[in-house]
Structure 1
Amino acid sequence: MKLSVKCNVEAYLKGLIFGAVMSMNAGVMAMDSNEDFPIVQSSFQASKYERVLMTQLRDQKSPTEKFREAANRLTELLVHRVIECLPTFPVNIETPIEPFQGERLVGNVEFVSIMRSGDALLDTFSKHFPDSVINKILVQRNEETAEPEFKYMKLSPTIAKCNTVVITEPMIATGGTLIMVIGLLKEKGVAEENIIVASVLAAPEGLIVLNQLFPRIKVVVTAIDEKLNDKKFIVPGLGDFGNRYFGT
């Protein structure tokens, strides 16, 4: 990718993020435990099965195979929630018995996997959308500053015309990585209202910033935790999703 694009994104972040981050702590401190995030599409109340699977993910004693098993099952449920956000149109069909009016999904869906943790969700999503285009973006977190650093991007030429772009990102902490990725997508012509973020776990701080900067996106998340700690890790959290899923 050309350097100018990277520079544009960095300027975009500096221009947009500063005010949101400066007000974020005050917003979180004033937030009621039942605060509603307008961009979040699914209920905070997870099902009993989701709570059992989340416990398996959180448990530091869960080996890689158990963590991966729980993550894959949670992703199946996440797929269903994302599909609830997709537009449909009525269609008349014939059953073996009589005519029936059903519905089909409108247009096409493309995926953007934030490497590498986003790849953990991608396999399950692609099974439900076998003809979908898969795009890749690599943004790595600087462990000293907790800031995102852009590394790589490969997007399809059709992504700007797509009805729905689903970003797979298992964890939303500060929201910095997603802010950079959404900024990149918008530069490429993707409409904000066509973006859905699919995530397993989020911190309120990240959702507040995303809501301030991109109020027209949709976020589908299984669980929202208490807060970020001083090192910008989600509390109580589940550790590093990618490391635990892939075992490296």
Structure 2
Amino acid sequence: MKTINLSEQNSVMNLYLAELRDKDYQQNRLLFRNNLKRIGEIMAFEISKTFDYELKTVHTPLADAEMQLPEDKVVLATVLRAGLPFHEGFLHVFDHAGNAFVSAYRMYTNAEHTEVGVHTEYLVSPDVEGKTLIIVDPMLATGGSMAAAIQALLEIGTPKHLHIACVLAVPEGLDAIREILPENSTVWCAAIDEGMNDHKYIVPGFGDAGDLCFGEKL
């Protein structure tokens, strides 16, 4: 498993991430969702550099142009619900991608909300065999929901390459998915934070991505 931390590079992505973290900026859900989309677009562009390319001829009104075009067929998978704006950013770039959706979410298993389990109840996906599979989820905390999504999708077929894309990750989450990822897998992070608090939220993080995008849940 290869891990790429994009915050180690100086780019405008760091500004978008800083705004996502800002508690005052978070008061506007539209702005929060837009920054998740923009980070998705940038990350998709970075991932596209790893694809296989072939020389093809494009017929313009004036002459033929020889261009290097991607060979990879993309399936873009998202963990609901927080992943939806992030997914949209990727889809702006990979507009011909097939789309998969996984409902895998955390459930506290004790009264103190310090122990977390994962419940998976829904999966829809096109064929992933031989495709470039990109699974997106803004937060890689315990790694439980991402691990559930990975296992469910790999039961459908064997992708050519598997990319995991998240805005924030912590070492514990990276360790959790490392055990189940195929060797030809790459994890992309906008930043890797120091760890989690007692309630299994990323610190410093930016809070609950789903609530900040769509409102608090019951």
TM range (shorter): 0.7 to 0.9
Alpha-carbon distance between aligned partners in 2 of 1:121 and 1:147, rounded to the nearest angstrom: 24
More divergent stretch after superposition (218-227 vs 101-110) = 101-110
Q: 1:42 to 1:104 in 2, by over 3 A?
A: farther
For the pair 1:208 / 2:178, whether they are aligned, the reply is no
For the pair 1:105 / 2:70, whether they are aligned, the reply is yes
Aligned to 1:235: 203
Higher helix share: 1
- 1:86 shift after superposition: 2.1
Q: Secondary structure at the match of 2:12?
A: helix
TM-score between the two structures when normalised by the length of structure 1: 0.75
Q: 1:181 to 1:196 in 2, by over 3 A?
A: same
Q: What is the Cα-based RMSD across aligned positions, in Å?
A: 2.3
Question: Which of 172, 193, 213 does residue 245 from structure 1 map onto?
Answer: 213
What pairs up with 1:119-134 in 2 under 5 angstroms? 119-134=84-99
Aligned to 1:87: 52
- 1:183 shift after superposition: 1.0
Amino acid in structure 2 at the alignment position of 1:140: Y
Q: 1:174 to 1:71 in 2, by over 3 A?
A: same
Higher strand share: 2
Aligned to 1:65: 30
Question: Which of 112, 116, 125 does residue 155 from structure 1 map onto?
Answer: 125
Query: Would you say the 8 A contact 2:163–2:186 is kept in 1?
Result: yes
Q: Secondary structure at the match of 2:75?
A: strand
Structure 1: segments with no counterpart, 5+ residues: 1-37
Query: Would you say the 8 A contact 1:167–1:198 is kept in 2?
Result: yes
Query: % of aligned pairs identical?
Result: 25
TM-score between the two structures when normalised by the length of structure 2: 0.84
Alpha-carbon distance between aligned partners in 1 of 2:170 and 2:195, rounded to the nearest angstrom: 5
For the pair 1:224 / 2:192, whether they are aligned, the reply is yes
- 1:233 shift after superposition: 1.3
